[in-house]
Amino acid sequence: MREDASPGTESAERSGELTIARQAVRAYAQAAGDFNPIHLDDDAARRFGLPGIIAHGMLVMGILGRLLLEGLPDARLETFSARFRAVVQPDRPLRWLARAEERDGQGWERWQLELRAADSTTLLVAAKATVRRG
């Protein structure tokens, strides 16, 4: 996995690029115990109309959760949800964005997260999180 986010002071919007390597998909299958062949075998994936193996939705969501929390060291998630809109293929450059939608001054924040192909505007995954700070 390769990614880079702009470090520095906390802001209401953070973004970066990442690539999910084929090996990362394999490692996630092992760690999560999800061996659905559409994540491991190109031919099996093609039989289901896919372009080749795809990343697990939960791998992608897990990475988005990490990217959010890495920027919010004192945060605790209250809810975290995602819609998987299109398949995420390994070894493709991706762009993520996290934006604070609402801050109420009492420690609650709502964040919206998006994952897109780096070279396109097509939304692959849309996620939301409610966090409690401090």
The verdict on 53 binding other proteins (CB under 8 A) reads: no
Instruction: Examine residue 59 and tell whether it contacts other proteins (CB under 8 A).
Output: yes
Please check whether residue 72 is in contact with residue 12, taking contact to mean a CB–CB distance below 8 angstroms: no
Q: Write the CB contacts of 23 (distance below 8 Å, at least 6 apart in sequence).
A: none
Buried b (16+ CB within 10 A) or exposed e, 88-119: bbbeeebbbebebeeeeeeeebbbebbbbbee
Phi/psi at 68 (nearest 5 deg)? Answer: -65, -50
The verdict on 52 binding other proteins (CB under 8 A) reads no
17: alpha, beta or left? (left if phi > 0; alpha if psi -120 to 50): beta
Which of 63, 72, 98, 113 binds other proteins (CB under 8 A)? It is: 63
Per rule CB under 8 A, count of chain residues that contact other proteins: 40
Q: How far apart are CA 20 and CA 89, in angstroms?
A: 8
| Using rule CB under 8 A, residue 30 touches other proteins | yes
**Which range of residues in 57-65, 91-99, 100-108, 109-117 is near other proteins by CB under 8 A?**
57-65
Question: Looking at 5, 16, 19, 69, which residue binds other proteins (CB under 8 A)?
Answer: 69
Question: Does the protein bind other proteins through residue 31 (CB under 8 A)?
Answer: yes
Where along the sequence are the contacts to other proteins (CB under 8 A)?
A: 1, 3, 24, 27-28, 30-34, 36-38, 44, 47-50, 56-59, 61-63, 65-66, 69, 76-87
